[in-house]
Amino acid sequence: MAIPSIDVPRWDGPLPTRDEAAKMIDHSLLRPELTPADILAGLATALAYSTASVCVRPTDVKAAATALRGTPVAVGTVVAFPHGSGTTPTKVFETTELIALGADEIDMVIDIGRLRAGDTAFTQDEIAAVVEAAAGRPVKVIFENSYLTQEQKVAGYRAAESAGAAFVKTSTGFADGGATAQDIALMRRTVSPAVQIKAAGGVRTLDALLELNRLGATRFGATATAAILDDVEERRRLLDVR
C-alpha cells in the first residue's frame, strides 16, 4: 500500500543549505524491483548530492561499498526487512555478514508481534544482540509505528535506548503508515538526546523534512532525494534574489 506524503504547512523558518539538508538524508534504494542498473544510478544520485548515506538491500551492499569507497557517503542496509520476523540469531548473522561486506550502518526491524504482546524484555535483548554484532556501527531500530499503540511505542523506544541503539526509526516505508509528526514528537519526548530519530515513509517534500526535523528527527529515509534537495537550492536562490 502506498504511503501518502506527509501533509504539513509550507515551511517558513530558516532554510538549511543544500549540503546541510543532504546530511539529513539516507537515500533509500530498497524497492524489490530495482535492478543492478537502478542501484548504480541511485548510488550516483547519493554521491552527487553527498547524502549522509544510501540505504540499500542486503544483496546490494557489496556493490555499494565498492562504488562508494573513499567517499563521504556511508553504506547503510537493512536487517530482517521489512517484517522483522527473523529469529534473533538470524538477525545477528545478517548483521555480521553485512558488515563484512562493507555496511557502515544497520537498520533493523524488531519482532513487531512480540512488542505488541508486551514482551519488552525480548525486544531489548534482540536489539542488544544486533548492537553487539554491529561492533560500534550505528544501529537504527525500526518499529513500524502504525501497528503499535502509544504505550507499545514508548516501551519499545525505551528498550531500544537501553539496548544501545543509535536511532529509533518510525517505519519501513512498506506498511500502511509512515512517519507522522505525532510519532516524531513522541519519540523525541521518550528517548534521551543521546538517541537520534529517523523518519521514513512518506517524506517526499522539503516541507515535510523540515517540519519533522523541527520536531526532532535528524535523519530521513527518502527516495525523493533529488527533488527535496533541488527545492532547497531553488528556494535559497529566490531568497537571494530578494
Active site residues: 107, 169, 198
Q: Is 84 helix (H, G, I), strand (E, B) or coil?
A: coil
Tell me the chain's radius of gyration from C-alpha atoms.
Answer: 17
**Cα 46 versus chain centre, distance:** 15
Tell me how many degrees the CA angle 238-241-242 measures, rounded to the nearest 5. Answer: 95
Judged by phi (left if over 0) then psi (alpha if -120 to 50, else beta), residue 145 lies in alpha
Q: Is 180 helix (H, G, I), strand (E, B) or coil?
A: coil
Beta strands in the chain (DSSP E): 25-29, 53-56, 74-79, 105-109, 139-142, 167-169, 196-200, 219-222
CB 141 within 8 A of CB 108: yes
